[in-house]
Amino acid sequence: MALLNDMALFVEVVKARGFRGAAEVTGVPNSTLSRRIAALEKAVGLRLLNRTTRRIELTEAGQVYFERCKRIVDEARLAHEQLGEMLEQPTGLLRVSLPIDFATIYLTPLIAEFARRYPGIGFEFDLTPRRVDLVAEPFDLAIRIGEQPPSHMIARPLARLRPSVYAAPAYLDAHGEPSRPSDLADHECLVMPRITAWTLGDGERTVETPVGGRFRVNNVGMIRQLALQGMGVTLMPEAIVAEDLASGRLRRILPAWQGEPTAVYAVTETRLLPAKTQRFIEFLREQLRER
C-alpha cells in the first residue's frame, strides 16, 4: 500500500510539473513529496526525475514509469469508487447457513423484504442443523440460535427470543389448563432430547419445574406441529408460533411466566465484511429487534 501511495504522489508531481503544484493538490508538504519520490527512485533503482530550481523533467525511465503508474493509479481509484457504489447498492451472491425451523417459519418473510430492497444481491441458503465450518466452507455468514459461538468466530448479537408456554385448545379441553408452573409435571410436555426441566420466571422469581412426556424431538418445527395436533404443551418463542396464536390454533398458558431468553447471533469468520453481508446483518438486527 505504501508503494501504491508513492506511485500516486509521483503521478501528481508529474501532472503538476513540480512539487509545489503537487503539494497544493495533495495537501502533502514539498519536503515530504521530495523525500517520498527520492525513496521511490531508490526502490526502483533508477532516477525518474531531473530536478531544477523551477521545474522537473522526466527521465527516459521516468516517462515509462509514469505511463505505467498512471494506469495503475487510475485503476486503483476506479476500484475504490466502485466499492463505494457497492456500499450504496450492494451486489453479489450472499451465502448463508440458517437453522431450519427459524428460517422457514420466521425468517423467510424478512429475507423476501431484504431481497426487494437490494435487487442486485443473489442468495444461496443452506438450511441445516449442523454447525458449518465458516473457514473451510464458502459461507458469508451463519445464523445461530442458543449457545455462544466459538471464540475464534465473530458473533454479532441480533436479538434475544424469550419463550412462553403454549398448547392447543383441544389439548387443554382434554387435560385441563395448568395454573402454575409446578402443574406442568402432570402434563404431556413436548421437549428436546435431554431436557428434563424448564426454567420459568415471572419477573420477580424463577422456578425450575420438571417436564417430560411421550415425545422428545430435536426439531422445533415438529414440536410445533405436535402441539398443533393437541399432543402436548410446548415452550418456544412467540416468533415461531405467531400465526398459530393469531388463528387460535394455539393458546398461551401461564401468561405471567416466560422461559429463559435465547440469543440469536450472526456469525462470521472475520470482521472485514463486504457490503452485502453487512447490510444483511444490519437488516436482520433491525427487524428482529422491532418484532
pLDDT band at 82 (very low <50, low <70, confident <90, very high): low
Pair (122, 239) in one structural domain: no
Say what the pLDDT of residue 135 is: 73
Pair (127, 243) in one structural domain: no
Count of the separate structural domains present in the chain: 3
For residue 235, pLDDT over 90 is answered with yes
For residue 159, pLDDT over 80 is answered with yes
Pair (154, 273) in one structural domain: yes
Pair (143, 271) in one structural domain: yes
Q: Considering the entire predicted model, what is its pTM? A: 0.63
User: The CATH number of the domain where 139 resides is what?
Assistant: 3.40.190.10
For residue 157, pLDDT over 80 is answered with yes
| Portion of the chain with pLDDT greater than 90, in percent | 51
Instruction: Note the pLDDT tens digit of each residue in 35-45.
Output: 998 998 998 89
Higher pLDDT, 259 or 128: 259
Task: Report the Cα 73 to chain-centroid distance in Å.
Answer: 33
**Listed residues 39, 61, 88: the one ending a domain:** 88
Say what the pLDDT of residue 134 is: 83
Say what the pLDDT of residue 131 is: 84
Higher pLDDT, 93 or 3: 93
Pair (38, 67) in one structural domain: yes
User: The CATH number of the domain where 75 resides is what?
Assistant: 1.10.10.10
Say what the pLDDT of residue 185 is: 95
End-to-end, the C-alpha distance of the chain in Å comes to 44
CA-wise closest residue to 71 among 79, 60, 61? 79
Question: Which range of residues forms the domain containing residue 124?
Answer: 92-161+263-290
Q: What is the mean pLDDT of the chain?
A: 89
Pair (253, 177) in one structural domain: yes
Say what the pLDDT of residue 88 is: 67
Pair (182, 251) in one structural domain: yes
For residue 55, pLDDT over 90 is answered with no
Pair (135, 68) in one structural domain: no
Distance CA 204, CA 40 (A): 70
Strand 154-161 with 262-268, pairing: antiparallel
Pair (25, 156) in one structural domain: no
DSSP letters spanning 144-157: EESSPPPTTSEEEE
Q: What is the mean pLDDT of residues 160-169?
A: 94
Say what the pLDDT of residue 56 is: 85
Pair (29, 78) in one structural domain: yes
For residue 87, pLDDT over 70 is answered with no
